[in-house]
Structure 1
């Protein structure tokens, strides 16, 4: 062997030995995931948007495959999207969503069957624009639920049957379903969904669930359904929260109160905004809209380290609470994969820059992810 060849082999061996610890560390980091860290505790899920469902956002899908084992459709299963005109269904995005979930072994949640927002106008009016009768609306509800749930029978594991029917003060939301049918529309929706797929889990889903008045009202609603023999499998507590609201104590009281009803508890739509809220704290009413002001968008150029740390601490506080009650909680679902796609950037003030999720705009995990994996 000539001297030059001997020297090249020696250098290669030195580089290989020097690289080995770093390479091993990188492989370990690559293999660690949220779903592995939380295995046996509860599902960890995320919402998929149209870019991800269509397969265009491959980078985000890689994050989902690695870190999550449950998915929910952010928009494509809402009634205005899936049935924009009576009898005309747009199932293609939902079909892709379900097929992707099946391919990757995900727990699949359908969202949402009956919701006052993002419902098509034809649900509630006749051809002349006049309000329909209760009988007509009930028939339309049944046809919609049977068509959607029936199509995915045995494939979608759970459904958010009714979404956001209670106001923060504990009263019923006076939406079109309520105005035409009355509170009975909630019971009917659950009955129709149960008939369409007897095996799917059926949930009630709402925001501000740490609010004592809302907690009491939702518990009363579920109890009323149970006494009538209408089966409800779980309650989804939307986690649209901030750095300082709601209190963990009140949130915990709701987890316990709902679990005592004998139903599953899910933390749904979890995100933690770091931005100031123009109308106070809490809530997630999609119809809220405020004019953009610079002082409401303080981190457009980047997030200060102090706020990033506060966000990490807040996430860990909530997850510590979830882990404490893992016997009651079946799933924790983030409302989006990364910050760039979060609805928080445009609600309730359009055009802001928020940092509410566990992965940044480049799909890189934040410090909270590392901490949760290390637990």
Structure 2
């Protein structure tokens, strides 16, 4: 080539093109990195479901292949007054999942929290009879599950019925019906959609007491001939709790029951807790103080690295037991969506998910993808 014949502008462009370094590799899509291992899901909020958060859908469909309703399917929102069902937002949630070929999970049919007060009382404000509450349960579950028959693939049928020591939570369902309320809920859900998968879901599942209590409950349901397809281990964890060995022991104990295991609400807080080894009791809260909100403007490198390592350790555990785990669901799309910013102390800034507030994958995502690739041949 005769360089003297090349115009100066073109020569400079050629020089820039030659000198320019190659672009960095694109961050892996989370769902692709974990393909063949388990579904990777996320919880959707109102803004994401309605499209008000316009940036959310491309992020959701790129990184996730499963979704769960964060709030719009809870009984207080679905049936705020007896017989008055509001399916507007739930319909849009299910439609979004179907249009984008996502595994859709309904959350949750029976939960003591965020249930409408009328569910448990009569016109005089007194507790209803066992028979009335059972019929209200039957009607609610049959109506909701029946509406989405064949469309919602799995349901969190009962949420958080067992305490950390393994005893029954003294909820209104338990006070009025007794432990049979769990059996009845699963039976009603199965009757409404015989093909849907049915799950029990709870937090602090690494605790030995809760582990034993859930195992006892599920074994009794199985002995009664009740269909239960899976156990959801809410993964609300911190930098120093729970011990991975305890989490693994519970995972193995639940899988030994012959049911699927799901990590249903994974997030990893980096913030201090007002209580040691906090679980996820939504009614608990504490007062705000600046010392309890140490990273309002971003994480120090040391904390960010600790997050990455702890998160990777959990995903290594999930990959180790991929034959037992059917789904890992993050409780939110990005850090800004997370309930952790307001629980147990409102107004804090937390960093608990795999995508930052700008929907950018964190450094640990590439490490998880590398670990997943390494397990493919095992």
TM-score by length of 2: 0.94
Secondary structure of 1:186 counterpart: helix
Structure 1, unmatched stretches of 5+, are none
Counterpart Cα distance in 1 of 2:307 and 2:9:
50
Q: CA deviation at 1:371?
A: 1.3
Deviations 1:268-293 (A, max 9, x none): 10000111110211310000011112
Counterpart Cα distance in 2 of 1:10 and 1:253:
65
Counterpart Cα distance in 2 of 1:370 and 1:86:
49
Indicate if the aligned counterparts of 1:60 and 1:338 stay in contact, CA closer than 8 A: no
Secondary structure of 1:314 counterpart: helix
Q: Which one of 16, 26, 30 corresponds to residue 29 of structure 1?
A: 26
2:187 pairs with 1:187: no
Q: Which one of 155, 161, 173 corresponds to residue 159 of structure 1?
A: 155
Q: Which one of 278, 283, 288 corresponds to residue 287 of structure 1?
A: 283
Indicate if the aligned counterparts of 1:246 and 1:282 stay in contact, CA closer than 8 A: no
Give the structure 2 partner of residue 199 of structure 1: 195
Counterpart Cα distance in 2 of 1:183 and 1:18:
71
Give the structure 1 partner of residue 118 of structure 2: 122
Q: Which one of 275, 278, 283 corresponds to residue 274 of structure 2?
A: 278
Give the paired residue count: 368
Secondary structure of 1:29 counterpart: coil
2:45 pairs with 1:49: yes
2:97 pairs with 1:131: no
Counterpart Cα distance in 2 of 1:34 and 1:300:
27
Give the structure 1 partner of residue 375 of structure 2: none
Q: CA deviation at 1:14?
A: 4.3
Q: How does 1:158-177 map to 2 (within 5 A)?
A: 158-177=154-173
List 4+ stretches of structure 1 deviating above 6 A.
Answer: none
2:245 pairs with 1:249: yes
Counterpart Cα distance in 1 of 2:290 and 2:7:
65
Indicate if the aligned counterparts of 1:64 and 1:337 stay in contact, CA closer than 8 A: yes
Q: Which one of 358, 362, 366 corresponds to residue 362 of structure 1?
A: 358
Q: How does 1:82-97 map to 2 (within 5 A)?
A: 82-97=78-93
Secondary structure of 1:331 counterpart: strand
Deviations 1:293-316 (A, max 9, x none): 221111113211111111100100
Cα RMSD (Å): 1.5
Give the structure 2 partner of residue 223 of structure 1: 219
Q: CA deviation at 1:179?
A: 0.6
Q: CA deviation at 1:6?
A: 4.3
Counterpart Cα distance in 2 of 1:10 and 1:104:
47
2:236 pairs with 1:240: yes
Give the structure 2 partner of residue 81 of structure 1: 77
Counterpart Cα distance in 2 of 1:128 and 1:10:
88
Q: CA deviation at 1:12?
A: 4.2
